[in-house]
Amino acid sequence: MIIPFNILLFDDFETLDALGPAEIIGKSDIYSLRLYSPSGGVCHSKQGISIETEPWIHMEPDGVLLIPGGQGTRTLVSDPRFIAALREHAAAAQYILTVCTGSALLARTGLLNDKRATTNKRAFAWAVSQSAKVEWQKSARWVVDDNIYTSSGVSAGMDMTLGFIADRHGVAAARGIADQIEYIWNSNRDEDPFAVK
């Protein structure tokens, strides 16, 4: 059975937050990659990459939802319609993965309440300010709590996605993908070398 791996995009998303995990998931024949945004059409990353997306009303439930971070999260956290729709889509997912400040968006939905989570350490104070009900982890590279994976900044999303593969399909599968893409996997989820000491 092929599992939907749905990546949510929005203007000013961080390119590697989304495309790093996409590269990893694309090496597996277990998942089908789909790119969505609230209205569909072209989304532009902070770095100027343009990507065609489908409207998220067509998003398949019961799959994996990945929420990247980036400058676009700074305005979306205050958009109640976006947050309400995100909550609906995230609640329908089998697993939720966030990269960087994508965790701030998820925190605003309430789905991270009373759960452990992390985020980009350079934006840590801002992300924490989005919800006091989250057990924010200052030093983790990525955190797993129930069916939710949250990661630190940018490249940490790749480490988390490999961790997700390892949890679901075995460490050998994760290391095999890391070898294919010539990536040195930081497999210690509890220690982020970029954490503020």
User: Which residues are paired to 155 by β-bridges?
Assistant: none
Q: Helix, strand, or coil here: 78?
A: coil
Of 134, 110, 109, 111, the residue nearest 124 (C-alpha): 134
Per-residue pLDDT tens digits for 106-151: 999 999 999 999 999 999 999 999 999 999 999 999 999 999 999 9
In the predicted model, is pLDDT for residue 196 greater than 80? no
Distance CA 136, CA 167 (A): 22
User: What pTM did the predictor assign?
Assistant: 0.97
Q: At what angle do helices 15-25 and 156-169 cross, to 10 degrees?
A: 30
Backbone angles phi, psi at 156, to 5 degrees: -60, -25
In the predicted model, is pLDDT for residue 86 greater than 70? yes
Distance CA 124, CA 181 (A): 29
Distance CA 156, CA 154 (A): 5
Order of strands, edge to edge, in the sheet holding 31-37? 41-44, 50-55, 31-37, 3-8, 64-67, 95-98, 148-151, 142-145
Domain ranges of the chain: 3-180
- Residue showing tokens 């489908």: 54
Q: How confident is the model at residue 1 (pLDDT cuts 50, 70, 90)?
A: confident
If you ran DSSP here, which 8-state letter would residue 2 be given? P
Amino acid, res. 44: H
Reported in sequence order, the residue ranges of the chain that DSSP labels E, i.e. its strands, are 3-8, 31-37, 41-44, 50-55, 64-67, 95-98, 116-117, 135-136, 142-145, 148-151
Residue 116 buriedness (CB in 10 A; 0-12 / 13-18 / 19+): middle
| Fold topology of 3-180 | Rossmann fold (3.40.50)
In the predicted model, is pLDDT for residue 13 greater than 70? yes
In the predicted model, is pLDDT for residue 59 greater than 70? yes
Q: Mean of the per-residue pLDDT values for the chain?
A: 97
Q: How far apart are the first and last CA of the chain?
A: 44
